Amino acid sequence: KKFYNPNFAGTVTVRMDGIGGTNDENGKNELLVLVESRDKTSMLDNTKLEALLANVAESVLDERSKSANCHVLGPLPDPECTPGAIFPNATIAEICVSGYSKRVRNVSTSLKKRVYAQYGIQYPQKTGTYETDHLIPLAIGGNNDIANLFPEAAEPKPGFKEKDVVEVFLQQEVCAGRADLATAQKQIATDWLAVYEVLTPEQISAIRTKYSNWSN
């Protein structure tokens, strides 16, 4: 039997012994409950993403080697100033719990000023034009170190709103077991735009609709 719950956004399949179920070691009927996701962001073909992540040579992040005269490369940060950094002990069991990012976020105003200064950008900027971005998002284990922060503009697009879509998508893929955590961290640290470019319009639209409060 299948039951639909609109709040769950999925269907639950229940199979009993005699119609697809099994018996446990004591011969008692075992109830099997299977969850079938109806999330539009995961229903679509992810062949291109799988191929992209398969080409990540290694998951070791580079060290920060520069702290001044940093320059953004289009939508990407300077890799010498912002190579990305992670909480080394962060596990999938931790990061996939609702509220994790909020609990570990810790970026002071003084740190933001340092981040902007190394890129030669005045702080603060007009609201909505820049954000102090975690290159590897907290949601997939990134940390609050300056090596993981850069001033990301909204315009020209793609900008920080487009990167937000990538962050949500990779977190969903990692937490669903469809992407390796370390590989996802390395990919977004190296070239988040490559991930954005393999997402379908339907996937992007589904994420923007789900998180409309920050995607407009």
DSSP string, 134-158: ESS-GGGTB--SGGGEEEEESSSSS
- The 10 Å Cβ neighbour count of residue 103 is 10
pLDDT at 14 over 80: no
- The 10 Å Cβ neighbour count of residue 169 is 24
Confidence (pLDDT) at 35: 35
Residues 33 and 134 in one domain: no
pLDDT band at 55 (very low <50, low <70, confident <90, very high): confident
Residues 206 and 120 in one domain: yes
pLDDT tens digits along 105-116: 999 999 999 999
pLDDT at 26 over 70: no
Amino acid at 114: R
Residues 13 and 54 in one domain: no
Residues 29 and 106 in one domain: no
Query: What is the span of the domain harbouring residue 20?
Result: 2-37
Measure CA of the first residue to CA of the last residue in the chain; give whole Å: 39
Q: 123-126 — which CB contacts under 8 Å span 24+ positions?
A: 123/151, 125/151
Section 9-15 average pLDDT: 38
Residues 109 and 18 in one domain: no
Exposed/middle/buried for residue 56 (C-beta within 10 Å: 0-12, 13-18, 19+): middle
Residues 183 and 77 in one domain: yes
The residues pairing with 33 across neighbouring beta strands, listed in sequence order, are 14
Residues 116 and 208 in one domain: yes
Residues 214, 162: Cα–Cα separation, whole Å: 11
Q: Which of 117, 181, 171, 106 is nearest to 145 (CA)?
A: 106
The number of CA neighbours under 13 Å toward the Cβ of 104 is: 22
Choice between 48 and 118, residue whose per-residue pLDDT is larger? 118
Exposed/middle/buried for residue 30 (C-beta within 10 Å: 0-12, 13-18, 19+): middle
pLDDT tens digits along 56-103: 766 689 999 999 999 999 999 999 999 999 999 999 999 999 999 999
Residues 85 and 12 in one domain: no
Residues 116 and 206 in one domain: yes
Residues 102 and 160 in one domain: yes
pTM over 0.85: no
Residues 33 and 48 in one domain: no
Confidence (pLDDT) at 56: 76
The residues pairing with 28 across neighbouring beta strands, listed in sequence order, are none
Q: Which residues of 181-207 are buried (b: 16+ CB within 10 A; e: fewer)?
A: bbbbbbbbbbbbbbbbebbeeebbebb
Q: CA distances (Å), 61 to each of 34, 182, 185, in order?
A: 37, 9, 9
pLDDT tens digits along 136-172: 999 999 999 999 999 999 999 999 999 999 999 999 9
Residues 24 and 97 in one domain: no
